[in-house]
Structure 1
Amino acid sequence: MNVIGAGKVSRTLMSLTRDAVGFTLRDIASSREESARAAVTAVSGGRAVASFAGMRPADLWFLTVPDDAIAGVAHELAGVSTLARGEPGAPRPVADHCSGFLPSEALAPLRDLGWLTASCHPVRSFADPDLAARQFPGTLCGIEGDAAAVPRIEAFVSAIGGRPFAVTAEKKALWRSPSKHRNLCRDMVPSWNPSGYRPLRLRD
């Protein structure tokens, strides 16, 4: 798995991926190379690179950048010819962003290259990456995207201890606020369902 972005969400996912069965943390890129290096040092895993051109192909890409940067990063990433081709015989790469509001359509430049796209928003605070990683098991993660991408993101979420559920792209933002309360109070049964929310084994 490759990661673009070196903030708190990135560090949490990197830490969880390091110990996940079936997934390997590969390359980390950020707008500042020193940030990528600091993230790699913090989680003791992955390889910091100076630019997208220095990244190796991967089956799974997580874009953990601000919402207003997602489309631009996708466009820039799509312009790297060595990544656009992928590895011979490898499955189609899946690009995923972590926005709680934007749909996977924000990754259209990569989809146009033949990549699969998805969005996965873990419903929790990442203010303290170390604490977020320790408390991540059981975290609800709303997923939408290409039909072939969603099962692969669900597998990743399950591998790092999360609890995936499907959400529609059209109404994605509607579930974000109430689902925050759902994750903080897991014994409460949500009474809303305006967004196409489909829980998967919500009760412990």
Structure 2
Amino acid sequence: MYGLSKAEQHTNTRFISDLMDLDELLNKPVRELSLGQRVRCEVGAALLHQPEILLLDEPTIGLDLLVKDRVREGLRYLRKELGVTILLASHDFGDVEAICDRAILINNGLLRYDGGLEKLHSLTGPARTIEFTLEQSTPNLDLVLGGGPEVESEVTEDKLVIKFDSSKVTAQKIIAAVTASNGVTDFKIIEPRLEDAVRELYINPDLKELPKA
């Protein structure tokens, strides 16, 4: 390994093996490795010389969920704990959210966004959704819909889906109204996804090139 002493080779290999879970793969022929195993080994090889900057192009493409989580966990540790700068090119927004704290979006050569993920999320607007699981199939919506046009409902079997404008009514108020007049066994608040914000940037003609956030 060019430029590394024997001690550095051993120390770095041990650290990377633990980080990417490579122990059982170190002495295995490359031709016998699965796609996920090869990706973990390739990322590990890129880390041997302790780079300050790591360039990655779709590092989790084609990987199963467990391997993908392992790769993301290792890269997140490198960025947060060791201060490695990671430049990630990816269409997988799960990668972006798990690894990065800043996003740059380019469309047709135009810079559409450069800033933090929280700011990017906010571009989806105030629309939010809460999905309730009910004891009965016919819910009482009087208290809920009394909130006005900013609240919409949809009923499917034992599910009640409430869509609302979070700038005009709070999730707490919606939950209180539904649980006060219905038997609720479970509920979940569905936040807009990061890809929804990206889609909004790409298709909304009113959103011009944005300054760094």
Structure having the higher Rg: 2
Whether these two folds match at TM > 0.5 is no
Give TM-score scaled by structure 2 length: 0.25
